[in-house]
Amino acid sequence: MKDIKQTNEKLDQLELHSTSNEDEKLTTNQGIKINDNQNSLKAGDRGPTLLEDFILREKITHFDHERIPERIVHARGSGAHGVFKLTKSLAEYTTSKFLSDVGKETPIFVRFSTVAGSRGSSDLARDARGFAVKFYTEEGNYDLVANNIPVFFIQDAIKFPDLIHAVKPEPDNEIPQAASAHDTFWDFISLMPESMHMIMWVMSDRAIPRSLRMMEGFGVHSFKFINEQGKSHFVKFHFKPKLGVHSVAWDEAQKISGVDPDFHRRDLWDAIDSGNFPEWDFGVQLIPEEDEDKFDFDLLDPTKLVPEEEVPVEIIGTFTLNKNPDNFFAETEQIAFHPGHLVPGIDFSNDPLLQGRLFSYTDTQLSRLGSPNFHEIPINKSINTVHNNQRDGHMRQQIVKGKVSYEPNSIGGGCPYQAMMSEGGFTSHQERVSGTKIRERSLSFVEHYSQAKLFYNSQSEPEKRHLQNALIFELSKVTIPEIRERMVGQLAFIDKDLAEKVAAKLGLKVKKLDSPNQSIPADADASELQSEERESHTKTSDALSMQNTVKNTIKTRVIGFIAGNGADANSFNDLKTKLENAGAQVQVIAPSLAPITLNDGSSATPKHTLTNTASVCFDALYISAGEDSVKELSLPENRHKVLHFINEAYMHCKAISFGNGTENLYKNSNVAAKKHDDPAIITWEDNNSADKFINAISQHRVWDLEIERNI
């Protein structure tokens, strides 16, 4: 009894150090009650964020230092070296030298990443992806810290810690990893109407790309170009992959996570290692400053995009990734990006999310890399020699000679001295800033549903179906009924049919919300600002659908040849040659890793076995011709594995070619029920079968046949 009493006393003491937020007011770490946790302090509702906002700084500083040493967000990453080549001069719009001289090549390092998961998480999590580029320009380093989605969940940086806390594993049990399908995320999202546009993107196939090389990139924010005359243009940045934008199926993504969680990392590495260098067209949308207010949304709102039909993307250059890192940690892991790393001719807008990021990134690097000298790590170093009066600090490497470390000075001849603008000295764009010091959001930021509706309307029918199924999957993991109901209510503002289909699978009725919009000022007429009045909005944008992406190449696609001993050498080699000449990779899958003997006595070395890989790792399958090969593949120990490969690839709408003599395998698979007009299934009866197979692979998938295949 004495031991039990002592234990209880210890537990009581521990309880003194714990706390509950139930029925409490929000406070700072100093105990000051917070009146507005939705908006940072700005000079006017569309003005720049003020440095004196101690609530914002305290909140983000604490958030930035919550994890060491891996990144709090974007921890799971892959990177590569490359080059940016300018093909069209922008000297009319910006003084940036790397954007002015046609033909100029600028070294770059690109890091791709998932947002929510830890370093050890899967590449195939449903998530937004980072697309960060460091330009090593002659004027200094320029970082374009982009994403594969053109908008973001929130409008103000003060909400970023809340967003990430909600999507990260829940704090009581650290579950789930790298997944948004849980209570806290959807609780937050269902209360944040400004997130509805981003949710459409993240629930779409954009969030499960086939490859990092087949992924678009967007600068998200509106930045500014400044020319020699001081004239300003707003600019939106775009990266368009030469191979097109393609995805995997959700079922496929889950299986790849088990078979090869490094799928994207391996794919990028192998492509560069084999000389198939990934390429993107780099483009810009340019908007004269005087046209800032001509849109039906606010250019400073990071939850909005500029439709390409209104402002076309102008292609100005090409990105090529041509060298893998020599050391993952030293380069990919230690590279430090910051949207505040600018060069002359580029400047910020007053986007309140961007304004907060300008503080957050450096603060994060100080914690993660442990020193204010992180810029001296080789991967972060400017190609220019650094000259300033900053000294010492942990891990200082640069040795600066001389007596002087201050400015102005006479002992050192005044050096290093300020550069004039004509000498390339950076100057911020001169714009008038005035306004009442206020925590408030501009009314132009309040409408949250029209672009979510634009995105959904622009999707093809298969894409809409995938998006619906993603929402059903995610919300079915939510354990609190009120959250599911509230989220369905939010979907009703976007599309009534979408909301009803999701609700039906969740066993719910669609209930009208009273618009729980925390960002609407108290005196605003919310009824005038919500998209309920926009039911007639039926705009679409071709650029938002992956159906309209590149479908004329099979370059770098991985084709699995399932074969056994005795495979027909002529058909095997002829098809292999045609596929490789078109840029694809052929990998042999056999019952074992022992070389297989073709029927002409030659041999082929398998890269995989039927048991150490899966159909999800390939873009298409060929079932090799040859009587003896088919006999081996039909043996009891092999047959069900081969049929599983075929059926799974068929379920995922991939191209499959059946060689002569494989009729037995064909008839015993799900493919036998195919319609005669199925363009992805090629059999021994088809004329020009190789050309048909290549064309089917180039289409990526036949998503339109999902329903017909009862998937």
Residues in a beta bridge with 114: 129
Pull the structure tokens for residue 299.
Answer: 């250019």
Alpha-carbon distances of 367 from 63, 72, 77, 317, 370, rounded to whole Å:
11, 10, 18, 35, 5
pLDDT of 109 > 80? The answer is yes
Residue identified by tokens 């593949």 is 633
CB atoms within 10 A of CB 334: 18
pLDDT exceeds cutoff 90 at 51? no
Dig out the tokens for 168 from the structure.
Answer: 């990260």
Per-residue pLDDT reduced to its tens digit, 301-356: 999 999 999 999 999 999 999 999 999 989 999 999 999 999 999 999 999 999 99
pLDDT tens-digit map of 358-370: 999 988 888 889 8
Dihedral (CA of 53, 54, 60, 64) sign: positive
The domain made up of 551-705 has a fold known as Rossmann fold (3.40.50)
Q: Are 688 and 654 in contact (CB under 8 A)?
A: no
More confident: 479 or 431: 479
What pLDDT is stored for residue 33 in this prediction?
81
User: What are the φ and ψ backbone dihedral angles of 140, each rounded to 5 degrees?
Assistant: 125, 175
The DSSP code for 420 is P
* CA atoms of 691 and 674, how far apart (whole Å): 20
Assign 388 a pLDDT band (cuts: 50, 70, 90): confident
Q: How far apart are CA 395 and CA 374, in angstroms?
A: 8
Closest CA to 34 of 62, 53, 50, 52: 53
Active-site positions read 74, 147
**Which amino acid would we find at residue 44?**
G
Among the residues of 582-635, which ranges form H helices? 627-633
What is the pLDDT, as a whole number, of residue 409?
A: 86
pLDDT at 654 over 50: yes
Range 502-531 average pLDDT: 65
pLDDT at position 518: 45
Average pLDDT, the chain: 91
Specify which residues 317 forms β-bridges with: 86, 282
Would you call 80 exposed, middle or buried from its count of C-beta atoms within 10 A (0-12, 13-18, 19+)? buried
State percent of the chain over pLDDT 70.
93
Tell me the mean pLDDT in the region 115-141: 95
Instruction: Report how many helices (DSSP H) and strands (DSSP E) the chain contains, helices first.
Output: 18, 20
Reply yes or no on whether the pLDDT at 87 is more than 50: yes
Place of tokens 């990092």: 212
Chain region(s) in the chain for CATH 2.40.180.10: 42-380
pLDDT in tens, 563-593: 999 999 999 999 999 999 999 999 999 999 9
- The lowest-confidence range among 149-163, 433-447, 506-520 is 506-520
User: Which residues have CB under 8 Å from 548's CB, separation 6+?
Assistant: 542
Q: Residue 711's pLDDT is what?
A: 52
The region that residue 632 occupies, defined by phi over 0 for left and psi between -120 and 50 for alpha, beta otherwise, is: alpha
Tell me, what's the pLDDT at 29? Answer: 77
The predicted structure's pLDDT at residue 523: 43
547-575: burial string, b at 16+ Cβ within 10 Å, e else:
bebeeebbebbbbbbbbbbbbbbebbeeb
Instruction: Give 22-38 pLDDT, tens digit per residue.
Output: 788 878 777 778 888 88
Q: What is the pLDDT of residues 442-499, one digit of tens each?
A: 999 999 999 999 999 999 999 999 999 999 999 999 999 999 999 999 999 999 999 9
pLDDT digits (tens, 9 = 90+) for 164-176: 999 999 999 999 9
Residue owning tokens 């009066």: 389
Indicate where the chain has its CATH 1.20.1370.20 domain(s).
Answer: 459-520+531-544
Q: How many other β-carbons are positioned within 10 Å of the β-carbon of residue 409?
A: 16
Name the residue among 26, 38, 33 with its Cα closest to residue 441. 38
Domain 42-380 fold is: Catalase HpII,  Chain A, domain 1 (2.40.180)
Helix (H/G/I), strand (E/B), else coil: 533: helix
Kindly report the backbone phi and psi dihedral angles of residue 596, in degrees, each rounded to the nearest multiple of 5, phi listed first.
Answer: -95, 145
Closest CA to 365 of 177, 53, 41, 134: 134
Residue 189 Cα distances to 194, 454, 475, 620, angstroms: 9, 19, 11, 37
CATH 3.40.50.880 in the chain, residue ranges: 551-705
CATH annotation of 459-520+531-544: 1.20.1370.20
- Return the C-alpha torsion angle 330, 336, 337, 340, nearest 10: -150
The residues facing 86 across adjacent strands are 317
Q: Is 644 exposed, middle or buried (0-12, 13-18, 19+ CB in 10 A)?
A: middle
Q: What sign has the CA pseudo-torsion 606, 610, 612, 617? A: positive
The structure tokens listed for 200 are 């459409």
Using one digit for the tens of pLDDT, what is the confidence trace for 226-258? 999 999 999 999 999 999 999 999 999 999 999
Confirm if 92 and 231 have CB atoms less than 8 A apart: no
Q: CA 582, CA 571: separation in Å to the nearest integer? A: 17
